[in-house]
Amino acid sequence: MNAILAVARRDLLMVMRRKSEVLTALFFFVIVTSLFPLGIGPEPTLLRKIAPGVLWVAALLATMLGLQRMFAADHADGTLEQMAISPTPLVMLVVGKIGAHWLVSGLPLVLVAPVLGIQFDLDGSALGVLVVALLLGTPLLSLIGSIGAALTLGVRGGGVLLSLLVLPLFIPALIFGAGAVEAHISGLGAGGHLSLLAAMLALAVFFAPWATTAALRIALE
C-alpha cells in the first residue's frame, strides 16, 4: 500500500514541477466543448440535446492526449525496469500510476464539466448527473487507456496506434456516460446507466492493472 502511494506521489510531484501536461488536456477539454455552442448557435433545445455527447467525446479525446506519456518516460529512463524487478509486485506500482493519471487527467475534467455544461443550458440536476457519470467514467478511461499505453510502449508512431486501439474500447463508457445524462433529461432516470457504468468500472479496476502489467513485461523483454 505504501508503495502504491509512493508511486502516485512521485508522479503527482513530477506533474506539479511541469504543469503544462495537466493544463494542456484541461484547456483542450474546455476549448473543444466551447466550440460547439459557438459553432451551432444559441438554440437551447438543440444544445441541451447534444450536450452529453459533446462533453463525453471531448472528455475521451482529452484523456487520450496524456495517455501515451503514461509509461513512456519511465520506460526511457530505466525506471520501468527497476519497477519490474522491485520486491513490490509490478501490478501494485501500476495501480499507483493509473491512480496518479486519473488525478491528473480525469479529476480536473470532472470538476470543470458543470461549468461547461451551463453553456449547453443544462439545468442543475442534469449537471449533477453529468458529474456523477464522469466521476465513474473517467477512472474507467484511465484504466482501459493504461492497457493501450502499455501495449504501444516503445512502438514508433505509437500515438496513432494507441488511439486506434483504445478509442473503440472507450465506446461503452461513452454510450452509458452520455446516455445517463440524456435519460435524466428525458425523464427516464439515470439509475440504470450509472449502475452499468459503475459495474464496468468495478470490472476494470480488477482486470485492467493485470492486463497492463502483462503488456509492460512484454514491452520490457
Partner 1 sequence: MLSAHGLTCVRGDRRLFSGLDLTIDAGEWLHVRGENGAGKTSLLRLLAGLAQPAEGEIRWRGERISQSDSDYRRDLLFFGHHGALKEDLTALENLEFAAAMDGASLSSEAALRALQRFGLQGREQLPVRVLSAGQKRRVMLARIATRNAKLWILDEPFTALDVKAVDLLSTLISAHVTGGGMAILTSHQTMPIPGGRVVQL
| Beta carbon of residue 75, minimum distance to partner 1 (angstroms, whole number) | 10
45 touches partner 1 by CB under 8 A: no
Residues 146, 140: Cα–Cα separation, whole Å: 10
At 18, list the grid cell: 511541469
DSSP string over 51-102: HHHHHHHHHHHHHHHHHTHHHHHHHHTTHHHHHHTSSS-HHHHHHHHHHHHI
Q: How far is CA 182 from CA 21, 62, 119, 122, 188, in A?
A: 31, 21, 16, 11, 9
Which residue in 31, 42, 82, 207 binds partner 1 (CB under 8 A)? 82
Give which of 200, 145, 195, 180 is closest to 52, Cα–Cα.
180
Which residue in 7, 133, 166, 204 binds partner 1 (CB under 8 A)? 7
| Beta carbon of residue 146, minimum distance to partner 1 (angstroms, whole number) | 17
| Beta carbon of residue 96, minimum distance to partner 1 (angstroms, whole number) | 8
Tell me which residues in 163-202 interact with partner 1 (CB under 8 A).
Answer: none
Which residue in 12, 32, 46, 84 binds partner 1 (CB under 8 A)? 84
Residues 135, 133: Cα–Cα separation, whole Å: 5
69 touches partner 1 by CB under 8 A: no
Which residue in 23, 77, 192, 206 binds partner 1 (CB under 8 A)? 77
- Judged by beta carbon, residue 81 or residue 123, the one nearer partner 1 is 81
- Judged by beta carbon, residue 13 or residue 118, the one nearer partner 1 is 13
Tell me which residues in 93-152 interact with partner 1 (CB under 8 A).
Answer: 93
Both ends of the chain: CA-CA distance in Å? 27
Q: Provide the residue type at 20 as one letter.
A: S
Binding site for partner 1 (CB under 8 A): 2-3, 6-7, 9-10, 13-14, 17-18, 76-79, 81-89, 93, 220-221
